Amino acid sequence: MAAKRFWPIAVAVLAVAAISFYWLTRRTDQPRYTTATVDRGSIVRSVTATGTVNPVITVQLGTYDSGPIIAIYADFNTPVKAGQLIAKIDPRPFQVKVDQAAAALANAKAQLIKEQADMVYKKLTLNRDSQLVEANVISQDALDSARSAYDQDVAQTSLDRANIQQQQANLEEAQVNLNYTNIISPVDGTVVSRNVDVGQTVAASFQTPTLFLIAKDLTQMQVDTNVSESDIGNLRTGQPADFSVDAFPDRVFEGTVGQVRKAPVTVQNVVTYDVVVNVPNPEFLLAPGMTANVTIITARRDNVLRIPVQALRFTPGKDILGNTTLSIAEKSVRQKRVWLADSGILKPVFIVPGLDDGSYTEVLSGDLKLGDIVVTNKVRTTDAESGPASSTSLHLSLR
């Protein structure tokens, strides 16, 4: 009876030992690897950056004159036309200058008329004295004096004409300054900023104060991005770009690179470059000042044979290679080695890689074909025990 009770216990112990031996030998003799299938798809290399949405052309409208603002005819978001009056400075001090210049001009013209009348009399005197000298009635000195007086009047009339031109210029200058009291829009556009109110005094001194900010065309916007110096070498004019803004998180806006500006911007020893992305804005969804998260596509390949980039980095350990040396001396320097899972056997094959986007690498040529299984990494023991969903058992041998 004791022997009969012992046999079930012995069988159970042997079963546990067999199962333990099976799992230990399986984990020791058959390591597990993550694999991927060679497929076809798109490879997109891109550069990401953060930028600000701005109008393509922005005009800062200031003033040449100083004085109080007496009227404003445009507000925020007001459409304006070129030549439209949008504000006015008190014109009275400048009107006084115009009146003074006009009076000085009238005085100069009257002085010319007076000198011309006197010149006519001096001309008659000169002709009469010439006849009297011939008749020996007056001396030669009297004739010379009359001629000198006439010549002085001729010169004075020329001086009066020059004075009229000067006074005319002064009048025009005063009129120009008076006209500057009318703040006129220089372009067709939209007022995006107004910095003055009625009654506020503006002072135009060394720096012209900005009264209005006018965007010429809000249907065409640009994104000024800050691209790091490590990525600027891959950017070219005309490359496609897309971006999103916080105001419309579910919408992607598309544009193209319009400028790659070579002027560096250095902030705390970090060098960036301004890359301008042009984008249409027909629906007026984009507003100046919005923050944009931009992705610029620098290269793209569609429907190409591709493998994960991890496959190029994987190399079997010494437990598989042992003392075996895999030389690529006879291969081209452009070729790279990947490991093919062929019927449970690790097999090295060579390919020529092309474009990569950080996740996939293009296969330009080599011994891989669509549907092949390549090894990307060895599964750690803890990963293998969690489940075999992403791993494959391979024999410890090479071919």
- pLDDT of the chain, 399 residues: tens digit per residue: 445 555 666 556 565 555 555 545 454 445 678 889 999 999 999 999 999 999 999 999 999 899 999 999 999 999 999 999 999 999 999 999 999 999 999 999 999 999 899 899 888 988 888 888 888 888 888 888 888 988 898 999 999 999 999 999 999 999 999 999 999 999 999 999 999 999 999 988 767 788 999 999 999 999 999 999 999 999 999 999 999 999 999 999 999 999 999 999 998 999 999 999 999 999 999 999 999 999 999 999 999 999 999 999 888 866 555 444 454 444 556 788 999 887 778 888 999 999 998 899 999 998 888 999 999 988 755 444 444 434 454 543 455
Which pLDDT belongs to residue 329?
44
Report which secondary-structure segment, H or E, holds 206: none
* Full 3-state SS string of 140-188: HHHHHHHHHHHHHHHHHHHHHHHHHHHHHHHHHHHHHHHHCCEEECCCC
Residue 236 falls in which region: left (phi positive, over 0), alpha (psi -120 to 50) or beta: beta
Which pLDDT belongs to residue 391?
46
Query: Can you list the positions of beta strands (E) in 246-367?
Result: 248-267, 270-280, 291-308, 336-342, 345-356, 360-366
Q: How far apart are CA 251 and CA 245, in angstroms?
A: 8
Instruction: Give the three-class secondary structure for 3.
Output: helix
3-state helix, strand, coil in the chain (%, to 5): 30, 40, 30
Contact (CB, 8 A) for 216 and 191:
no
Which pLDDT belongs to residue 161?
94
Q: How far apart are CA 339 and CA 349, in angstroms?
A: 6
Residue 230 per-residue DSSP state: T
Q: How far apart are CA 171 and CA 173, in angstroms?
A: 5
Amino acid identity at 172? E
Which pLDDT belongs to residue 358?
86
Q: How far apart are CA 190 and CA 286, in angstroms?
A: 14
Residues 6 or more apart whose Cβ sits within 8 Å of residue 187: 57, 59, 82, 214, 216
